[in-house]
């Protein structure tokens, strides 16, 4: 048994002073240090540095490790030029992205306090690294392919990748999962089959959805800037599905939809009614010129995620949270900071069905210790100071083991 003490503990009911947490691989007890040392006299006591806050480990729900080699290859600023640049540079970027590079990004994520991440995998290349990294990885096997002619082959490859990720379940912290790339890139027939796979195995399910205005126009009327893209690369002039049909495909299984920047109020209400949620990627949306997700009016639960280095400059969760504070500049800053911290802890865990993300008895002992540069003068501002002053965590624990 271990006991960890910090000036503040971030619990589902707010920041608490004068408490400590007893843990093995699970959180066993929460009480005063005195109370815990009496109950567990043999426990090792871990005293964190002064001005520290004990958080549950942070969760980055959506990242593409395979694109970690991108620095200046992909075109930022607007969606269609970005998509063109993905097609142009994809092979060389994936080729340049070796295990060492991906492991380095996992380590950097961990130093920023991320103990769980959702890896969107198009080829399965990062499976080995996701097995090796100490973090819990929700391994989202991505299905992509809009051409009916190749659909069966692509679906077969997807099934194989799902199986490979399932075979790692016992020996690592990998949780197999399914990702549908997007409505514009997946044929409705295989889409429904993949949704059924997730449903059958009770796997987390995610999909990019209504990221850009260009996507919206293409899905609504097979027009707009994506028209030239589909003609050029896929020799097609018609969308394979529409917004309504795509949403209905997920009616019976709660799904984590990434972006949703261009969804209407009506569409968001529909998704909310079906029990879905949103992954909000503020920097990715800004860099690809997609707009701002109005989180102040969002009728459904959301997480905050970095997306990949294909549309970002780092996978550091604190960089992302600071960007969110700047992007949502009309929201009251303290309230927003609290909402953002919930989005990367308890809300993310609830949405992905994980037994972590909260400092509560019987949850997995995943912790991130954040140390403020001086004694905080007011408890009401702890969430904001945490986001503004932290680049790296001072300690990180996963299932009770110390990794940072």
Active site residues: 211
- 126 part of the interface to ligand MCF, by CB under 6 A: no
Instruction: Tell the residue number behind the tokens 């995998």, with chain if given.
Output: 121
**Which positions from 138 to 177 touch ligand MCF by CB under 6 A, shown as an x/- string?**
----x-x---------------------------------
Q: Which residue, 211 or 395, is less far from Fe ion as judged by CB?
A: 211
Distance set, CA 403 to CA 121, 138, 146, 196 (Å): 25, 19, 42, 37
Task: Please report how close the Cβ of residue 226 comes to ligand MCF at its closest, in angstroms.
Answer: 10
Task: Please report how close the Cβ of residue 209 comes to Fe ion at its closest, in angstroms.
Answer: 11
User: DSSP states of 49-94 as a string?
Assistant: PTTEEEEEPEEEEEE-GGGTT-SSSSPPSSHHHHHHHHHHHHHHHH
- 215 part of the interface to ligand MCF, by CB under 6 A: no
User: What one-character DSSP code corresponds to residue 43?
Assistant: P
**Which positions from 72 to 101 touch ligand MCF by CB under 6 A, shown as an x/- string?**
-----------x--x---------------
Binding window for Fe ion (CB under 5 A); candidates: 32-40, 80-88, 306-314, 365-373: 306-314
Q: Decide which of Fe ion, ligand MCF, none touches 26; Cβ closer than 5 to 8 Å per partner kind.
A: none
* Structural tokens at position 379: 């408890």
| Strand pairing report for 8-11 and 2-5 | unpaired
Distance CA 292, CA 284 (A): 10
User: DSSP states of 274-342 as a string?
Assistant: TT-EEEE-HHHHHHTT-----GGG--S-EEE----TTS-S---HHHHHHHHHHHTTTS-HHHHHHHHHH
- 307 part of the interface to Fe ion, by CB under 5 A: yes
| Position with the least CB separation from Fe ion | 307
Q: Decide which of ligand MCF, Fe ion, none touches 122; Cβ closer than 5 to 8 Å per partner kind.
A: ligand MCF
- 303 part of the interface to ligand MCF, by CB under 6 A: no
Angle at 232 between CA 226 and CA 233, to 5 degrees: 90
Binding window for ligand MCF (CB under 6 A); candidates: 38-46, 159-167, 304-312, 362-370: 304-312
- 116 part of the interface to ligand MCF, by CB under 6 A: no
Closest CA to 86 of 285, 309, 310, 281: 310
Task: Please report how close the Cβ of residue 258 comes to Fe ion at its closest, in angstroms.
Answer: 5
Q: Which residue, 262 or 284, is less far from ligand MCF as judged by CB?
A: 284
**Would residue 46 be called left, alpha or beta, if left means φ above 0 and alpha means ψ between -120 and 50 degrees?**
beta
- 208 part of the interface to ligand MCF, by CB under 6 A: yes
Q: Rule CB under 6 A: which residues touch ligand MCF?
A: 64, 67, 83, 86, 120, 122, 142, 144, 181, 185, 208, 211, 284, 307-308, 310-311
């Amino acid at each position: 048994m271990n006991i960890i003490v910090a000036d503040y503990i971030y619990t589902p009911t707010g920041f608490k002073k004068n408490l400590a947490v007893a843990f093995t691989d699970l959180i066993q007890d929460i009480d005063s240090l005195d109370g815990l040392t009496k109950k567990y006299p043999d426990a090792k006591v871990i005293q964190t540095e002064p001005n520290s806050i004990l958080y549950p480990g942070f969760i980055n729900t959506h990242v593409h490790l395979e694109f970690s080699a991108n620095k200046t290859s992909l075109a930022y600023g607007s969606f269609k030029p970005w998509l063109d640049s993905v097609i142009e540079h994809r092979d060389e970027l994936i080729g340049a992205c070796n295990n060492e590079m991906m492991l380095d990004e996992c380590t950097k994520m961990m130093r920023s306090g991320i103990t769980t991440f959702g890896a969107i995998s198009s080829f399965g290349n990062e499976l080995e690294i996701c097995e090796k990294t100490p973090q819990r990885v929700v391994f989202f096997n991505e299905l992509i392919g809009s051409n009916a002619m190749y659909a069966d082959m692509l679906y077969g490859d997807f099934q194989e990748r799902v199986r490979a990720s399932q075979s790692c379940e016992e020996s690592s912290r990998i949780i197999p999962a399914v990702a549908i790339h997007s409505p514009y890139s997946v044929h409705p027939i295989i889409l429904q089959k993949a949704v059924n796979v997730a449903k059958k195995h009770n796997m987390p399910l995610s999909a990019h959805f209504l990221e850009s205005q260009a996507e919206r126009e293409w899905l609504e009327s097979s027009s707009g800037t994506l028209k030239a893209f589909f003609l050029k690369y896929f020799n097609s002039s018609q969308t394979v599905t529409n917004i309504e049909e795509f949403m209905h495909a997920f009616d019976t299984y709660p799904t984590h939809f990434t972006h949703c920047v261009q969804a209407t109020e009506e569409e968001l209400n529909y998704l909310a009614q079906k029990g879905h949620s949103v992954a909000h990627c503020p920097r990715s949306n800004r860099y690809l010129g997609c707009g701002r997700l109005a989180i102040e009016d969002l009728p459904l639960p959301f997480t905050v995620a970095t997306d990949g280095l294909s549309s970002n400059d780092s996978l550091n969760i604190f960089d992302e949270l600071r960007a969110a504070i700047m992007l949502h500049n009309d929201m009251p800053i303290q309230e927003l900071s609290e909402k953002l911290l919930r989005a990367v802890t308890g809300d993310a865990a609830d949405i992905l069905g994980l037994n972590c993300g909260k400092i509560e008895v019987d949850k997995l002992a995943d912790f991130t210790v954040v140390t403020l540069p001086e004694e905080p003068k007011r408890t009401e501002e702890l969430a904001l100071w945490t986001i503004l002053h932290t680049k790296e965590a001072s300690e990180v624990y996963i299932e009770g083991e110390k990794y940072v």
